[in-house]
Chain A
Amino acid sequence: MSEKKTKRRDFLFTATTAVGAVGAAAVVWPMIDQMNPDASVKALASTEVDVSSLTPGNTLTVLWRGKPVFIRRRTQEEIDEARKVKMEDLIHPEKDEDRAKNPEWLVMLGVCTHLGCVPLNDKGDYNGWFCPCHGSHYDTSGRIRKGPAPWNMEVPKYEFVDANTIKIG
């Protein structure tokens, strides 16, 4: 047996295995990707909300992409409280000015960043939200202050279409 012959066999063997692996991966991928959000789910990307009836100190909860969105019309005290917090006191430092461009309106996903429960309004040690599942406390800007959640409640992309209508998404 010459050395050359063995090498030729080795090459064929490796090449066949490699092509086979690529082929198998190409077949497996559709099976995996079919579980990702489908076109009909993706199509429900934005929603418009009439906020004219909302008075200061109240929260409206609407459903967007299957998740609740909190629209809070904040009182002056709540805004002041959120804005005077020092950055070093925050677990996930974010300025209230960046979270609520228009200080009166706080729009965010009403989903606890720990394990996805819906936090309760006007509860907790920081007068904001409290998650009943595992005890995360959020302040009047929806920022995490105490408990297992790692991040502030997420602010989605939104805009005021007119004075009374918010478009989320």
Chain B
Amino acid sequence: MSDHDYRPKSKVGQWFNDRLPLLTLANHLTDYPTPKNLNYWWTFGGILTFCLITQIVTGLTLAMHYIAHADMAFESVEHIMRDVNYGWLIRYIHANGASMFFLAVYIHIFRSLFYGSYKAPREIIWIIGIIIYLLMMAAAFMGYVLPWGQMSFWGATVITNLFSAIPLVGEGIVTWLWGGYSVDNPTLTRFFTLHYLIPFLILGLVVLHIWALHVPGNNNPVGIDIKKPSKDTVPFHPYIVIKDGFALLMFMIVFAFFVFYAPNILGHADNYIEANPMVTPAHIVPEWYLLPFYAILRSVPDKLLGVVAMLSAILILAVLPWLDTSKIRSAVFRPLYKQFYWILVADVLILGYVGAMPAEGLYLLIARVATAYYFLHFLVILPVLGFKEKTLPVPLSITEPVLGGSPNLAAARNKESKIE
């Protein structure tokens, strides 16, 4: 932790800080000692904060023009697109912003998986992160319902019907969620309310997420505990601020590409047809970021078990710190885990692909194998690997392998001979 004995220089600052220590907080955030070997995969925390703020600001402005009513919602969205000044821009930023948010969160999660950032003493940061991820999915789903197109309506129908799989009370819960006997106006108005609420819940959890992070400090690519502050750390400002800022600029280029050149490529054309409770579109699929879980749902032939499998696939992440029995954090020093990690990445990508395809024939078979492997990775491979794997020697500090004196002598010598 940084210097909590901080005293502002000015008299006014001291007077204010004695009453509300905001300047101490600001000082903590700027001086916060950060491992000096953080790579660009660590910049996605800042990028995600940017995504959240972007969604809140564009969402607030869209809400000034949107009408949450089954008879008017679809038209009001077209009104935003055609009539409202820069409405098209704000809506495209908001719609593509959701995809960018998930892109960044998936990189952030897989970074954590690779470098073992979820392990002790960072379990609470990880679990708060999983809760944020769940809320993101809820917000994205409800937001997708608001334009009241065909995909909105039928997506809402299918997802709310997941609850009907619960024995005995399922049907009652679904009716309660709908506020009627089908998805209709009461469903739309409550989804709008909750869609408005959830980002602020996420904002609160982000504060806790960062607070929990600042207790043990950042993990790093080497995955070892470091002394803070020491020659292994640099202050957050300006070092990390500049690095995060540069990564954010790169990210915004990708973001802008979608907004300006392919604003509808991640959506479905069916959602430009107004909701019709009489006709289900021939091929309904969720947004890309939910496809792996959708594939898991469809790969199980039983309704209740399908829903259980899908929810377990997400919730299993919350207990990951206890499923992974290895004491070594970073995959850099875990030769076997590193291979299984990439197999898992491929597995999730395959699940995403088959989730977009019809659930029949070869696609269904692939989905089943990939689903089985997903659970195998977390429930069998990870626990066993911690005991069986022969890990590589870990350096004692970040600077050690660079300055010599590393216990990993062979690796250091190899490096030297290569240089020669």
| Contacts from A to B (Cβ < 8 Å) | 32, 35-38, 41, 61, 63, 65-68, 114-118, 131-135, 147-150
Beyond A41-B180, A41-B181, is A148–B278 a contact (Cβ under 8 Å)? no
Known: A35-B190, A135-B359. A117 touches B280 (CB 8 A): yes
Cβ-defined contact, A37 with B181, below 8 A: yes
* A29 CB to nearest chain B CB (Å): 12
- Given the known inter-chain contacts A66-B183, A149-B303, please indicate yes or no for A132 contacting B162, CB distance below 8 A: no
B382 to chain A, nearest CB (A): 30
A residues less than 8 Å from B154 (CB atoms): 117, 133
The answer to whether A118 touches B306 (Cβ under 8 A) is no
Interface membership of B229, Cβ < 8 A: no
Which chain B residue lies CB-closest to A146?
B301
Bound-state Cα–Cα, A49 to B282, Å: 27
Q: A35-B190, A116-B161 are in contact. Are A132 and B180 (CB under 8 A)?
A: no
User: Are B278 and A41 in contact (CB-based, < 8 A)?
Assistant: no
Query: In the complex, are the beta carbons of B277 and A133 less than 8 A apart?
Result: no
Of the listed residues A116, A147, A148, the one surrounded by the most CB atoms of chain B closer than 10 A to its CB is A116
Evaluate whether A132 and B306 lie within 8 angstroms (CB atoms) in the complex, with A36-B176, A38-B179, A116-B157 already known: no
B283 touches A (CB below 8 Å): yes
A65 to B158, CA, bound (A): 17
- Evaluate contact between A36 and B175: CB separation under 8 angstroms: yes
When A66-B180, A115-B162, A134-B298 are in contact, do A148 and B280 touch as well, CB less than 8 Å?
A: no
Q: Is the CB of B284 within 8 A of A117?
A: yes
In the assembled complex, the Cα of A134 lies from the Cα of B303 at a distance in Å of: 11
B241, chain A: closest CB distance, angstroms: 44
User: Which residues of chain B come closer than 8 Å to A117, judged between CB atoms?
Assistant: 154, 157-158, 280, 284
> Main SS of the interface on chain A?
loop
Measured between C-beta atoms, what is the minimum distance from B35 to chain A in Å?
46
Cα separation A65 to B277 with both chains bound (whole Å): 11
For residue B184, CB closer than 8 A to chain A, the reply is yes
Question: What residues of A have a CB within 8 angstroms of the CB of B359 in the complex?
Answer: 134-135
- Contact residue among B158, B175, B278, B300 (Cβ-Cβ distance under 8 Å from A115): B158
CA distance A147 to B301 in the complex (A): 6
A144 to chain B minimum Cβ distance, whole angstroms, is 10
B:164-202 near A, CB below 8 Å: 164, 175-184, 186, 190
24 A-B pairs whose Cβ atoms sit less than 8 Å apart in the complex: A35-B190, A36-B176, A41-B180, A41-B181, A65-B180, A65-B181, A66-B180, A66-B277, A67-B182, A114-B161, A114-B303, A115-B157, A115-B161, A116-B157, A116-B160, A116-B164, A117-B154, A117-B284, A132-B284, A134-B359, A135-B358, A148-B301, A148-B303, A148-B306
B360 and A135 contacting across the interface, CB-CB below 8 Å: yes
Q: Bound complex: CA of A135 vs CA of B280, how far in Å?
A: 13
> Nearest CB to that of B158 among chain A residues?
A115
Q: Which residues of A contact B302 (CB under 8 A)?
A: 148, 150
A139 to B281, CA, bound (A): 21
User: Within 8 Å CB of A66, what residues of B?
Assistant: 180-184, 277
Residue of A nearest to B277 (CB): A66
The residues in B between 144 and 166 inclusive whose CB is less than 8 angstroms from any CB of A are 154, 157-162, 164
> When A35-B176, A115-B157 are in contact, do A68 and B181 touch as well, CB less than 8 Å?
no
B410 at the interface (CB under 8 A from A): no
Pick the contact of A36: B159, B179, B183, B278 (CB < 8 A): B179
Contact assessment for B162 and A118 in the assembled complex, using a CB-CB cutoff below 8 Å: no
CB-CB under 8 A from A149, the residues of chain B are 303
Given contacts A35-B176, A115-B161, A117-B154, contact A65 B360 (CB under 8 A): no
Also in contact, A133 and B176, with CB within 8 A (given A65-B181, A66-B183, A66-B184): no
Q: Could you tell me the distance between the alpha carbons of A114 and B306 in the complex, rounded to whole angstroms?
A: 10
Q: Is B12 part of the contact surface with A, judged by Cβ < 8 Å?
A: no
Residues of B with C-beta under 8 A to A68: 277-278
